[in-house]
Chain A
Amino acid sequence: MAKIESSEYSSLNKVIGWFLTLRWIACGGVFFSLIIIDFSFHFRLPYRILFVLNGILFLENVLLTMYYTLVKGKNLSRKELRWYFNIQVCLDYVLLLMMGYFTGFLENPILYYFVFHIMLTAFIFSNRVVFLYVGSLIVVLISVMLAEYYGIINHYPLFYSEGRQSYNDLMLIRGTGLCTTLIISSYLITGIKNRIEERGKRVEVELNRYKSLDTIKSNFILQVIHEIRGPLAALKGFHEMILKGITGETGSKTIEVIQKANRRTENLIMMVDEMIDYAYMRAKEDVQYTKTDIALWYAIDTNLSMFSTMAMQKGIRFSSNCSREISLVANQDLINIILSNLISNAIKYSSSKTVVNINAEREQNVVHIIVSNEGIGIKPEELDDIFEEFYRTRKAREIERDGTGLGLPIVHKAVESLNGKITVYSEEGERTAFHIYIPVSSEANTDKPLVGGNNEQLTDSHHR
């Protein structure tokens, strides 16, 4: 048996709830109306039958409620639920009809309550069933009406006990009114229901499209990583074969050329990584990054060692100052992206034989990291643009031809994803310092806003 999907199931549960509640109200309403009518209006109604009917309604609801509470936890099958509804609807139908019949039938506006019943039925059953229900109801109403008219069955009068003829005259008008009301209301209700369902379906289609777009994006990123990083890795492998002398004796000039080729390849790999990082961050704005405990000094050390050869070639020394106590709960990738980008930038744009400084301090709930270097610096008018996508300063372009202009935007995005803040201070031709503030854990940030806030302007340009 097919189990019902959870969203549909919860909406069915809601309808069941309505049915049960409305039936309690109807039960109480009928009971008190009967008492009031009996004592104050002195209608000659078959009260005994009516109280019995009301009792049956009460019993019905007690049983249905009991059954429902018994099986509520279980995921009922579609078939079981359908039976549950069928029984309810049929019982209500018969009871309401009988109650109407014994209280003057067409004289009594209670028959209009069938409209409410149609509404509830429309929520559960298909339109065809609703129309079938209304059709059968009209046939039954007209049959009873005719049977009363020709005296086949007894009429239980509400008002027209004396003049039978006047009731017969009114029957036609009332009957027509009731039947058209039932037809029109069923038509309107199913129409509205159709529109709601249509809209729901459209939303679902959109949602699915959105979800599949997301998967396409993710798969595309994976594919790009594999298709581009793979061949570059092979290229680098060939260079290494030559440089290690595996391919035999090589002239010093050739070695030099291969070294150059290798450097360009490494550079290209870094650029590809930048673009992939950027694509990923753009594709997954609301991604929930996994968080781990990170010892900051270790992260800094690892990232510095990645660039030790690059630094050595320019005679650059690292000076890092980070207490071993500083740790944060954050995503390792993001921390690495921030550190590696800033460190490689610092080396690239330093004058040779200088020092690249990395300092980290804990300030309350925030870790403050400073990456600074001595070198070309950034012009004050360019400071505002360095976090823009694809922007590269003129000096940077002179120093390094290959570059995506995505390094700092990625750092910016990574810092934002960690609920942090980044600022830059620079003196043209002298030095540059990037200050990063990252909350030690994301919880620390939610109840206590970060120094300076997140929405403030990102770059506090400052000319020293």
Chain B
Amino acid sequence: MNNSRILIIDDDQDILETMEALLEFEGFTIRLADNVEDGIEMIGEYNPGVILLDVMFPEKKTLGFEAAEEIKKTYPHVPVFVITAINREYAFDLEKKDVKADEFFNKPIDYDRLVKTIKQYVS
């Protein structure tokens, strides 16, 4: 199976734009969603190989890891990479959340590592 379709969910248009450009450059097919609801709706027909999910949407006032759990519940076979600006373990402790995600990435994203990891998952 070689599914190079990637779904990116992030509320920051600029992040979406840069991630789209950099990952398309690496040969992936990209779809974007600027909120979790739209993103989850897309999964069914788009059937992505990997979902990149930004957490902590400001309007939610929480870290928003529930979104990752929601996706995992409905689509357990789709790898979810959580991308967060939070770069410290202690910040996770602040919310005391057990996060169920396949991989974690910090912003700013190390694209070399991201591309390498995505390739591991989709091939």
Bound CA–CA A277/B61 (angstroms): 21
Whether, in the assembled complex, A236 has its beta carbon less than 8 Å from a beta carbon of chain B, the answer is: yes
A240-B89 contact given A222-B56, A233-B107, CB 8 Å threshold: no
Interface centre among B21, B56, B93, B94 (most CB of A within 10 A): B94
Interface centre among B14, B56, B108 (most CB of A within 10 A): B108
A229-B107 contact given A237-B14, A237-B22, A240-B18, CB 8 Å threshold: yes
Of B30-38, B45-53, B80-88, the one contacting chain A is: B80-88
Secondary structure call for the B interface:
helix
| Interface flags, A280-298, vs B, CB<8A=1, else 0 | 1000000101100000000
Bound CA–CA A250/B67 (angstroms): 40
**CB–CB A233/B90 < 8 A:** no
Which residues does chain A contribute within 8 Å of B87, judged by CB atoms? 225, 229, 273
Which residues does chain A contribute within 8 Å of B90, judged by CB atoms? 280, 287, 289, 331, 333
Of B15, B63, B91, the residue contacting A230 (CB under 8 A) is: B15
**CB–CB B22/A234 < 8 A:** no
Which residues does chain A contribute within 8 Å of B25, judged by CB atoms? 244, 246
Question: Among residues 56 to 96 in chain B, which have CB atoms less than 8 Å away from a CB atom of chain A?
Answer: 56, 58, 61, 63, 85-91, 93-95
Whether, in the assembled complex, B102 has its beta carbon less than 8 Å from a beta carbon of chain A, the answer is: no
| Interface flags, B79-123, vs A, CB<8A=1, else 0 | 000000111111101110000000000011101000000000000
Which residues does chain B contribute within 8 Å of A223, judged by CB atoms? 58
Whether, in the assembled complex, B19 has its beta carbon less than 8 Å from a beta carbon of chain A, the answer is: yes
> Please, could you name 9 A-B residue pairs with CB atoms under 8 Å apart, sorted by A?
A226-B58, A226-B86, A229-B87, A234-B14, A237-B22, A247-B21, A269-B108, A280-B91, A332-B89
Of A221, A231, A246, A332, the residue contacting B22 (CB under 8 A) is: A246
Whether, in the assembled complex, A354 has its beta carbon less than 8 Å from a beta carbon of chain B, the answer is: no
Bound CA–CA A290/B63 (angstroms): 20
Bound CA–CA A221/B18 (angstroms): 26
**CB–CB B108/A236 < 8 A:** yes
Number of interface residues of B (CB under 8 A): 26
Which residues does chain B contribute within 8 Å of A231, judged by CB atoms? 12, 14
Which residues does chain B contribute within 8 Å of A261, judged by CB atoms? none
- Nearest to A229 among chain B residues (CB) is B85
Q: Which chain B residues have a beta carbon within 8 Å of chain A's beta carbons?
A: 12, 14-15, 18-19, 21-22, 25, 56, 58, 61, 63, 85-91, 93-95, 107-109, 111
Whether, in the assembled complex, A218 has its beta carbon less than 8 Å from a beta carbon of chain B, the answer is: yes
**CB–CB A238/B18 < 8 A:** yes
Bound CA–CA A88/B15 (angstroms): 71
Interface centre among A219, A223, A237, A276 (most CB of B within 10 A): A237
Whether, in the assembled complex, A179 has its beta carbon less than 8 Å from a beta carbon of chain B, the answer is: no
**CB–CB B91/A225 < 8 A:** yes
Which residues does chain B contribute within 8 Å of A331, judged by CB atoms? 89-90
- Nearest to A232 among chain B residues (CB) is B108
Of B19, B56, B86, the residue contacting A237 (CB under 8 A) is: B19
- Nearest to B111 among chain A residues (CB) is A240
A221-B85 contact given A233-B15, A237-B14, CB 8 Å threshold: no
| Interface flags, A49-64, vs B, CB<8A=1, else 0 | 0000000000000000
- Nearest to A241 among chain B residues (CB) is B21
Q: What is the minimal beta-carbon distance from A430 to any residue of chain B, in angstroms?
A: 35
Question: Among residues 328 to 350 in chain A, which have CB atoms less than 8 Å away from a CB atom of chain B?
Answer: 331-333
**CB–CB B95/A222 < 8 A:** yes
Bound CA–CA A161/B85 (angstroms): 93
Inter-chain pairs besides A222-B91, A280-B88, 5 sampled, C-beta below 8 Å? A219-B61, A229-B87, A232-B108, A237-B19, A247-B21
**CB–CB B15/A221 < 8 A:** no
- Nearest to B90 among chain A residues (CB) is A333
**CB–CB A222/B22 < 8 A:** no
- Nearest to A277 among chain B residues (CB) is B88
Which residues does chain A contribute within 8 Å of B15, judged by CB atoms? 230, 233-234, 237
Q: What is the minimal beta-carbon distance from A449 to any residue of chain B, in angstroms?
A: 27
**CB–CB B22/A233 < 8 A:** no
Q: What is the minimal beta-carbon distance from B50 to any residue of chain A, in angstroms?
A: 18
Which residues does chain B contribute within 8 Å of A333, judged by CB atoms? 88-90
**CB–CB B108/A222 < 8 A:** no
Q: What is the minimal beta-carbon distance from B12 to any residue of chain A, in angstroms?
A: 6
- Nearest to A283 among chain B residues (CB) is B94
A244-B22 contact given A222-B94, A230-B107, A237-B14, CB 8 Å threshold: yes
Which residues does chain B contribute within 8 Å of A225, judged by CB atoms? 85-88, 91
Interface centre among A241, A269, A280, A289 (most CB of B within 10 A): A241
Q: What is the minimal beta-carbon distance from A292 to any residue of chain B, in angstroms?
A: 9
- Nearest to A334 among chain B residues (CB) is B90
- Nearest to B19 among chain A residues (CB) is A237
